[in-house]
């Protein structure tokens, strides 16, 4: 099996960077280190398991992030599920958008 490559759009990288601070400032985590670890763990899970996750076709609502998107689901805990939207071609996953059940589930 060929090695899978995962590439994140600039917008997703910016979101993940901001997410670390948001999780801490909004008291989802009591320590900044914990918020950073949470995001690093999410990225690691995406990088290492996206190729093995079921892929669904993204609804038209998400076409603003790219054409022909699929998405996979990453459940982090009982309260939060992350939806990772991407294009997949030649063992490369182009991550275009990441949202969670708190802000996008009504569109799925």
DSSP code per residue over 16-61: HHHHHHHHHHTTSSSSHHHHHHHHHHHHHHHHHHGGGS--EEPPGG
- Rounded distance between C-alpha atoms, residue 20 and residue 37, angstroms: 9
- Rounded distance between C-alpha atoms, residue 23 and residue 35, angstroms: 6
Q: What's the pLDDT tens digit per position in 33-73?
A: 999 999 999 999 999 999 999 999 999 999 999 999 999 99
DSSP letters of 4-25? PEEEE-HHHHHHHHHHHHHHHH
Structural domain boundaries in the chain: 5-107
8 A C-beta contact, residue 41 and residue 14: no
Q: What's the pLDDT tens digit per position in 11-28?
A: 999 999 999 999 999 999
The whole model's pTM is what? 0.92
Side-chain half-sphere exposure of 58, counting CA atoms within 13 A: 26
Return the CATH number of the domain spanning residue range 5-107: 3.30.2310
């Amino acid at each position: 099996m060929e090695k899978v490559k995962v590439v994140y759009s600039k917008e997703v990288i910016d979101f993940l960077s901001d997410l670390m601070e948001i999780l801490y400032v909004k008291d989802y985590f009591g320590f900044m280190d914990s918020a950073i670890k949470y995001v690093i763990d999410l990225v690691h899970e995406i990088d290492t398991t996206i190729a093995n996750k079921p892929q669904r076709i993204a609804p038209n609502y998400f076409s603003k992030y790219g054409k022909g998107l699929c998405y996979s689901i990453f459940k982090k805990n009982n309260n939060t599920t992350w939806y990772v939207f991407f294009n997949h071609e030649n063992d490369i996953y182009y991550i275009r958008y990441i949202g969670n059940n708190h802000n996008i589930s009504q569109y799925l």
